Chain A
Amino acid sequence: MASDESTEADAIGEDSSAESTVFDVTADYEQSTLDYYQNQFDIWVVEPFKILWSDYRGRFGIIVVAFYILMGTLGPVIVPAPEPNQAGRLIQPFENPSHILGTDGLGQDLFGLMVHATPAMLKMILSGAIAGSVTGVILGIIAGYKGGWTDKVIMTWGDTIASIPGIPLLILLAAIIEPENPFVIGIILNITGIAGASRGIRAQVLPLAEKEHVEAARAQGQSFSGLIVKEFLPHLLPLIFIGMLGGAVAVITASVALYFLGILPFTTQNWGVVLNIAYQESGAMYNPRARHWLLVPLVTLTLLNIALTMLAQAFDQVFNPRVRARHRGRKVEAEETDEEEATNVDSELIGGQMQQ
């Protein structure tokens, strides 16, 4: 870096002596490919990670999600597969160190059951979240930007898909084709997510397409794909990320529910399967000694959902320059004396809204 700076300074000196205008000045050192990727890595990975880490919700989300990913990848290798009667029945949690979460009514280790259900869950989440948001984003941008008939056709399609409540559709399909592949289940579970994402993206693109800088880019002959990459995507990125996390939560919630009801075939391990056996078949609702059998899968599922939701919230902070700028502005204002007045206006505005 130090040597780069010195050559830069030299170059500027040469330029001014050669009586050239500012417009002739070009970069004085070549950016190597490595530099480029390092830069991009900083912008897209290091910086967001640091901001996320500095937010309490982001830190919580990252730690918990990382734990679940480890559970789904390394977990099944380390933790032995659970089998009936591997230990005594209904051992309470935190009593026996080799069965930390206790055992169920069939004598299976509950922690093992949770761990071995995670890989399939991760596959569902991955396929559902990615398929849902990619399709939604493409449709939403086209509809919002093109307008007119294109918009009408895409939105009618979106409405049609959104009008098919996801759980009934999956129940119907599960009863007929009995899907077993986690990737397929994930995609089906997030079909309604496509419509939600495309509606949200379209709503963002609509006002964006009217903005002066987009108008200017179009007037200069920027192609549609160029417009998408340069003008739209940077603004939509927060929505896309948050949409993906939302999709993940939806897939988790729906899949556990359907396994819990016993509608998806029990060939795949799932937290919902454990719940189903505890609730529907073993009467854990009546038996206080079996309470943990219900509680363990419920907590496992809820914790992941909370972590993903918190991560989504923290992402909102990362990407929302308005929120950041406003808070930065507030900090400056606080040092000045007119801070009181400004906050008064703010609070009264919302106070008025409450009365409504």
Chain B
Amino acid sequence: MNLKVDTHTITYTNIKYSRVFQTDMSYIRDRLIQAAVTLYAIVTLGFLINKLLPGGPVDFLQQDIRENPQNYGLPQRPRPQQVQRTIERLVEVSPNKPLHEAYIDYIIQVFFHFDLGESIIVANNVPVTQLVLSRAPWTIFISTIGLLYGLIIGIILGSLMAYYEGSKFDIGMTIGNLVSGAIPYYVVAIGLLYFAAFQWGWFPTGGRVNPDATPGINWPYISSIFYHAALPAFSVIIPGFGGRALGLRANSIRLLGEEYIRVAELRGLSRYRISIAYLARNAILPMWTSIVIGLGSLLGGSVILEQIFQYPGMGMLMFDAAISRDFPLLMGVFIIISFIFVIGTLLADFTYSLIDPRADVKVSR
């Protein structure tokens, strides 16, 4: 019995300790270092694919330049130095330098000059960074509204289902959500496009704004942005909320049986306090990591969605680059999508440590 009291005191002080020190700089610093390592690893992977993969961008360019030098503004029989300089300008990797020198050059170019080379086919000689960043806001826009509304609908439905657990509503919604969660988003997208755009004409069949509206802060332009984003966003929301609702339902039902909820009731805490501080927090907690991963798959999935809806964002740029074998652009979109995702993860993790006090009691064994 004594022993048990001891362990409790220890855990208690531990929690107290972590509560006091965890929100300070050390956690944020650790997480920033982690993000930096991740970014570095992604760029390194980019370099390795560029330089080492047989048939990779450098290989491809070397062959392509030798075959069609005029496409690259070179004379009929370019000298090796000219070929080398062109490749260096296009992918920031020099083909003839030793591995470590080429690697250092590449890292410096990417991290300090934000230079990812130039597109060769999709938009001739336009810097990749400029090309991608002009498209990025559109993709982030549809992904975020999709994620956000999917989350809100999921939480509301999930709590309703847990509230009416075992009723016909619960069973009906469970089946409905299971089905909606299992349907791939592009199936929903094709379905929506088929009915709401082609058959009934409620929404546009492609594009991201009304070409007749004048760009700027005016109602026709802004409303046409939302009008064009509606179908892509719906195709993210509809398959998304089912899984989240089910997750929240399962979590809340499981938590209701927990002893600490019972203890909180016995302590006479108000029901409002129990439901907010004890139940909701812990029920939403396991969903948080799935949000992070969801964001990644949304950014990745944008390639498919934007192609279906002909929505010119980052994803469509990547698709065009892949189909036309525009390797510098393909690598660039790949690296920038990964970068955006890392930053998103970072934000989600900071908020995670805010809602979960246990998040990092770090014990080493």
Using CB atoms and an 8 Å cutoff, list the residues of chain A in contact with chain B. Answer: 57, 145-149, 151-152, 155-156, 159-160, 162-169, 171-172, 174-177, 192, 195-196, 199-200, 203, 207, 209-210, 212, 249, 253, 256-257, 260-263, 279, 285-286, 294, 298, 301-302, 305-306, 308-310, 313, 316, 320, 322-323, 325-326, 329, 345-356
Contact = CB atoms under 8 A, between A and B. Distances in A.
Contact of B279 (A175, A294, A309, A353): A353
A246 to B, nearest CB: 10
Contacts of B297: 165-167, 192
A309 B7 CA distance: 41
Interface string B174-209: 000011011110110011011000100000000000
A349 B274 contact: yes
Residue among B53, B186, B250 with the highest chain A CB neighbour number at 10 A: B186
Chain A interface, >50% SS class: helix
Contact of B334 (A146, A168, A286, A347): A168
A350 B265 contact: no
Contacts of A356: 275-276, 280
Contacts of B338: 163-165, 168
Contacts of A210: 11
Given A162-B296, A177-B55, A356-B276, 11 more contacts: A160-B41, A163-B338, A169-B334, A175-B322, A192-B297, A195-B293, A305-B184, A306-B178, A320-B254, A352-B271, A354-B163
Residue among A57, A249, A263 with the highest chain B CB neighbour number at 10 A: A263
Interface string B58-94: 0000000000000000000000000000000000000
B254 A199 contact: no
11 contacts: A159-B38, A159-B345, A163-B342, A175-B327, A195-B293, A257-B184, A310-B178, A316-B250, A346-B165, A350-B279, A353-B279
A200 B358 CA distance: 15
B45 A147 contact: no
A57 B176 CA distance: 12
Nearest to A257: B304
B245 to A, nearest CB: 12
Contact of A172 (B30, B304, B331): B331
B38 A156 contact: yes
Contact of A346 (B256, B331, B365): B256
Contacts of A207: 358
Contacts of B327: 175-176
Contacts of B165: 346
Nearest to A306: B182
B184 A302 contact: yes
B330 A306 contact: no
B186 A151 contact: no
Nearest to B295: A165
A167 B49 contact: no
A313 B178 contact: yes
B312 interface: no
Interface in B297-317: 297, 299-301, 303-304, 307
Interface residues of B, number: 82
Nearest to A56: B175
B223 interface: no
B364 A147 contact: yes
Given A177-B55, A301-B184, A322-B257, A349 B271 contact: yes
A305 B363 contact: no
A355 to B, nearest CB: 8
Contacts of B272: 352, 355
A166 B274 CA distance: 40
A286 B49 CA distance: 41
Interface string B116-131: 0000000000000000
B275 A350 contact: yes
B184 A164 contact: no
A160 B364 contact: no
A283 B201 CA distance: 17
A309 B289 contact: no
B160 interface: yes
B37 interface: yes
Contacts of B38: 156, 159-160, 163
Given A145-B365, A305-B183, A163 B254 contact: no
B274 A192 contact: no
A172 B49 CA distance: 9
B233 interface: no
A165 B165 CA distance: 36
Contact of B253 (A145, A308, A323): A323
A3 B286 CA distance: 52
B190 A279 contact: yes
B303 A285 contact: no
